[in-house]
Structure 1
Amino acid sequence: MPVVTIDPERSTTLDPAHQADIDKFEDMLARHLEGTIDEDAFRVFRLNNGIYGQRQGGHNQMVRVKIPYGSLQPDQLEMMGELADSHSRGWGHITTRQNVQFHFVQLEQVPEVMRKLGSVGLTTREACGDTVRTVQGCHLAGACPFEVLDISPWAEAATQHFLRHPLAQRLPRKFKINFSGCDTDCGQAMFNDAGVIAVRRTLDDGTVEDGFRVYVAGGLGANPHPALALEEFTPRDELMATLEAILRVFSNHGNRDNKIRARMKWLVDTMGWEELQERILKERRLLPASSSWPGGIPQHVLDEGDAPAGRSEVVEATPMGQGTQVAIRSGAYEAWESANVVRGEAKGTVSAYAWSRLGDVTSAQWRALAAIQRELGADVRVTNRQNLVFRALAEDQLPRLFEALSDIGMAQPGAELVRDVVACPGADTCNLAVTQSRGLASAIGEVLEEEGLATVGGLRINISGCTNSCGQHHTADIGFYGAERRAHGQAAPGYQMLLGGYVGQEKAEFGARALRLPAKAAPDAAAAVVRRFNDEREAGESFRSWLERSGGAKGVAEGLKGYSEFPAPDEAPDFYVDYGETGPYVAEVGEGECAAT
């Protein structure tokens, strides 16, 4: 695949807002290096610009690039490759919130990174900190046969409205907005501060109106909370005002004294749901008096349109969402096509996934993906399961896409199969993680491959390196979060296994605790659950249904007790060393700067 250079016309001119961000960062960085600015003030400023400190200390930084609703253009994909080579460690990481992260960027180089990103229309602004974070959206929006509305222009309108919005700069805590085009909820709206799902209602005169159901106060972390419906139906012309009203109530009433209880979800406990609901609706009613009132349908939506893709009358729609079970055909292309291709929209185009192991994409892969996108004229989005999807494809382009993805190692049948393990960065770079979650994810993947279980469908495995759920372990069929264990008088890496998490059909079910495991036993325990589900499930049966008739999380855990014991250190010293480490395990937790604190 040829390397295509970045468009010089686009790269020579920076948006004035991007340039202003860079100029201010350079000024604040100079003051920080001179010691003339308060350290806490610079830290807040740095975080609000998407720059995190790493556990390695010094000037090592993680740079988070915002990818609103996951949409990327070829020159932006190429820029990811450029940054991976010039400022990071040769690869970038796709996150569970449709961002891309680069690690080990030196603080002094951040303005240059921001300048390069700005040259292709990307920013780090408000990717971190107590701000409105990246607006997420279903990665198949506009290409989904099940959707009620194409939420893409709505997610873009929300991005434009809240980016650099004065109200959104010093919130009590971070604020997350997420869009899904139907109740399948591939965007995962049900555990966000404001989750928007497109719905349809029938009026008294028999006419049908498309609009939204807005959910409020969802969240994960150490104390997960499912979002609650603000009202039965929100008309299209009131959606943006509703989102700002929610944000204003959070800004006014969120806990600014205790970060641990500062998220929107805690207002349900302190204020009560009925009062919180009433305050939001009252704020919306009076919002026209505000200079920032975003009333009516946004101009971007009017310009782009939000009509759904529609459903084909000829081609059967590919099932989607958590719990999807796939019949894998034999043959490399046939297996990929059966697992990774989505069909069924009325306009006849198809979508296909490029599988990214652990969400890691090398510089060569980024550049190749850009060339593939240009060659096929496709639309590309990153997904919340750390993959990429090519959209607006013709059927006869699929063999060429498979060939091109095979050349760069991204053509494995991974979407909606158990091999698609999701993990946060863990103790590799995060200050709060206590275990190497990426190492566990790799080990689980290897065991599944060895035992012929990697292509089992209808199962999701998610891993976090601590309780804070950046790997979204609460929502997976099989979830793990890292924890320090004590065994035979020594510290050792361990995990809590959870079973039965689910998001879809406008509900969120969080996984129940099964049992605690040594880190080195967790892969075999995970494989045992996958094997048992695969052997015992009835035709089309979901994991949750199987789990319930198998005694629930505790009932399944009974059969896993043999994996829970630590051998003595002299019998199995590797149980006291974490994945990817060489010395004895130590749970080192630094000052939290990540999304969890």
Structure 2
Amino acid sequence: MTILDRPDTDRRDEHGIDVLPVEEWDAGQVADIEKFRDQLAGYLSGDVPEDVFRVFRLTNGIYGQRQGGTNQMVRVKVPYGSMTPEQLEMMAHIAERYSRGWGHITTRQNLQFHFVQLTDIPDVMELMASVGLTSREACGDTVRNIQGCHLAGACPQEVLDITQWAEAAYQHFVRNPLGQRLPRKFKINFSGCATDCGQAMFNDAGVIAVTRTLDDGTVERGFRVYVAGGLGATPHPALALEEFTPRDQLMPTIEAILRVFNEAGNRDNKLRARMKWLVDTLGFEEVQRRVFASRKFLVASSSWPGGIPDEVEQHGDDPAGSTTDGEITKIGQGIDTRPVSIGGLSPYVRWHHANVVRGAANGSVSAYAYAQLGDITADQFRALAAIQREFGAGVRLSNRQNVVFRDLTDEQLPTLYERLDAIDMAQPGAELVRDVVACPGADTCNLAVTQSRGLAKAIGDRLEEEGLAEVGGLRINISGCTNSCGQHHVADIGFFGAERRANGRSAPGYQMLLGGYVGDEQIHFGDKATRLPAKNAAEAAVRVIRRFAGEREAGETFRTWLDRVGGAKALGTDLKELDAFPEFEDNPDFYIDFGETGPYVAEIGESECAT
């Protein structure tokens, strides 16, 4: 008997979670679940071909793992990272019952659960639906999870609270016929100000709230829409579609971009099918012309999303605003939130300095719970839900793989720290170099060639040993291959995995990039510094960070410092001695990747769906 068949009281009793009655589930999601059961049965019986089921599975957010067989990754869509206590509790249950006891926050504010068995997927889909979550279109050639700044509505610098705009985009595009069989995936991001914490500058459609001054001197709030950004093996900066998009034109503009992509995108070669390649093929002016033409006549479409969305009309989008006399926390990449000197302060004060954001005129305070490597155990999920209820707080997942509590008061912070410390999530990690971001890597991904999570832990351990873990103002991101799921291109220090050949053997290696940056409506991709054996990459990171911490001037960003000392190539030359493999007999560890027990082998499976 499935959840759909059980009495409402039985469902509540089984998990102790306040789930939605079946009649309140999204009708589209109920249809998704029933269809998945039918298609799965057909696939297992041999009636549904492998290639057909694969496309269907991916569109429903179910991704095959490198382990093969019946092992699946379930990617849960979490629009703009917003979660409720019931959803956190259900994630705990799914992690414990169907996965390996923990879940993973992605750089796109999703949650992933690995090693879920294929035959259990419909049950997991029902559990998600019972708390208002779905995996629909979290993978595949679809409109992916709608991202938004995790501080939206609580940011001291925002122009507009983009929360309800992101919600409106999610509601409009999920299961929308326009987005079901696109040439390739399509990503949409929202940021409330030029700081761009939502990272709109490297997405297919990136939205940043801005203002313009009208002829009569009044200030109008609206948006600047960027198009054709992307990372991957060939990064491309997003381009401004127009100087200013009025609020009532935002949704038609996004749909027009999607329509142009759907009509003109490359369907013959997936490697050149993203929006960025369309600009390279047609030219930006032609893409721009087509988008404007599509938007002009979109009013005639049955799906016209014009005007102010209902979600915005109902809940508003006024900015949180900054105080004129209180403490305002600076945010964004490159901000030296606290130098390494905070290491001499008490644990609570260190956490408060690094993980608390304040400055909103409404008096709210936000605080980060640090999730190392983006991982959250079942017990931590439940504890986070309890904390959210206790403090009446909002919760958002961040694109740096942490959990943010919002709508707090100063009086609640000491108790919040105690609660987080009890579950090992109170390290001062937000915006400090300790907060290393990594993709899942060769642990589960078909495309990865290195254990990126293992390198992330090795770097973190070395930083702790050297007393450098709490240096502020720079970010480290790691990908297990060139595809940049770990967003290595836009980190101050980035690494991507690569197979190396040394002394006649294969060995795990990395390319080190320096100087990546996204913010202020700008984006810079990191420059290549040097190649490294995997086992020397942590030492290279430590050397760069030690030098930066010792040489930086007051308020100097990593990018500015890097330019001042000669750039990535100069630092790469200084690190060149680390690009050396010992003979296998002298140190076989260099030929074994992190977390592995046998010789390194670069195994690449069939690509299904990069993040």
Q: Answer yes or no: is 1:289 the counterpart of 2:300.
A: yes
Q: Answer yes or no: is 1:33 the counterpart of 2:48.
A: no
Letter in 2 for 1:474: H
- Which residues in structure 2 correspond to 1:248-267 (within 5 Å)? 248-267=259-278
1:490 positional shift: 0.4
One of 223, 228, 251 as aligned partner of 2:234: 223
* Matched-pair contact (CA < 8 Å) for 1:430–1:594: no
Deviations, residues 535-555 of structure 1 (Å, cap 9, x unaligned): 111111000001001111001
Distance change (3 Å), C-alpha of 1:9 and 1:70: closer
- Alignment-derived partner of residue 302 in structure 1: 313
- Which residues in structure 2 correspond to 1:438-449 (within 5 Å)? 438-449=453-464
Gaps of at least 5 residues in structure 2 are 1-14
- Which residues in structure 2 correspond to 1:143-292 (within 5 Å)? 143-292=154-303
* Matched-pair contact (CA < 8 Å) for 1:10–1:120: no
- Alignment-derived partner of residue 410 in structure 2: 395
Q: 2: CA distance between counterparts of 1:547 and 1:394?
A: 39
One of 504, 513, 518 as aligned partner of 2:528: 513
* Matched-pair contact (CA < 8 Å) for 2:88–2:384: yes
Give the match's secondary structure for 1:347: coil
* Matched-pair contact (CA < 8 Å) for 1:11–1:120: no
Query: % of aligned pairs identical?
Result: 71
* Matched-pair contact (CA < 8 Å) for 1:5–1:78: no
One of 337, 345, 353 as aligned partner of 2:352: 337
Q: 2: CA distance between counterparts of 1:548 and 1:19?
A: 55
Q: 2: CA distance between counterparts of 1:11 and 1:576?
A: 53
- Alignment-derived partner of residue 510 in structure 2: 495
**TM-score, reference length from structure 1:** 0.98
One of 439, 442, 465 as aligned partner of 1:427: 442
Q: Runs in 1 of length 4+ with deviation above 4 angstroms?
A: 8-13
Deviations, residues 29-75 of structure 1 (Å, cap 9, x unaligned): 00000111121111000000000000000000000000000000000
**TM-score, reference length from structure 2:** 0.96
Q: 1: CA distance between counterparts of 2:536 and 2:493?
A: 15
Aligned residues: 594
Gaps of at least 5 residues in structure 1 are none
1:529 positional shift: 0.4
Deviations, residues 183-207 of structure 1 (Å, cap 9, x unaligned): 0000000000000000000001111
Q: 2: CA distance between counterparts of 1:189 and 1:281?
A: 20
Q: 2: CA distance between counterparts of 1:35 and 1:297?
A: 48
- Which residues in structure 2 correspond to 1:489-568 (within 5 Å)? 489-568=504-583
Q: 2: CA distance between counterparts of 1:502 and 1:558?
A: 22
Q: 2: CA distance between counterparts of 1:13 and 1:107?
A: 26
Q: Answer yes or no: is 1:313 the counterpart of 2:328.
A: no
Letter in 2 for 1:335: R
Q: Answer yes or no: is 1:119 the counterpart of 2:119.
A: no
Deviations, residues 76-115 of structure 1 (Å, cap 9, x unaligned): 0001100000000000000000000000000000000000
* Matched-pair contact (CA < 8 Å) for 2:20–2:130: no
Deviations, residues 222-263 of structure 1 (Å, cap 9, x unaligned): 000000000000000000000000000000000000000000
- Alignment-derived partner of residue 457 in structure 1: 472
* Matched-pair contact (CA < 8 Å) for 1:190–1:508: yes
Letter in 1 for 2:267: R
Q: 2: CA distance between counterparts of 1:425 and 1:335?
A: 29
Give the match's secondary structure for 2:590: helix
* Matched-pair contact (CA < 8 Å) for 1:427–1:437: yes
Q: 1: CA distance between counterparts of 2:326 and 2:85?
A: 30
* Matched-pair contact (CA < 8 Å) for 2:450–2:497: yes
Deviations, residues 486-508 of structure 1 (Å, cap 9, x unaligned): 00000000000000000000011
1:324 positional shift: 1.2
One of 362, 365, 379 as aligned partner of 1:347: 362
* Matched-pair contact (CA < 8 Å) for 2:232–2:485: yes
1:594 positional shift: 2.5
Distance change (3 Å), C-alpha of 1:563 and 1:135: same
Q: 2: CA distance between counterparts of 1:17 and 1:299?
A: 20
Letter in 2 for 1:457: G
Letter in 1 for 2:480: G
Letter in 2 for 1:81: A
- Alignment-derived partner of residue 500 in structure 2: 485
Q: 1: CA distance between counterparts of 2:16 and 2:81?
A: 22
Q: Answer yes or no: is 1:43 the counterpart of 2:54.
A: yes
Give the match's secondary structure for 2:368: strand
Letter in 2 for 1:91: W
Q: 2: CA distance between counterparts of 1:10 and 1:361?
A: 27
Aligned CA RMSD, in angstroms, stands at: 1.1
- Alignment-derived partner of residue 395 in structure 2: 380
Deviations, residues 253-307 of structure 1 (Å, cap 9, x unaligned): 0000000000000011100011111110111011111110101111110001000
One of 594, 603, 610 as aligned partner of 1:579: 594
- Alignment-derived partner of residue 570 in structure 1: 585
Letter in 1 for 2:149: C
Q: 2: CA distance between counterparts of 1:503 and 1:400?
A: 34
- Structure 1, 266-275 or 320-329: larger mean CA deviation: 320-329
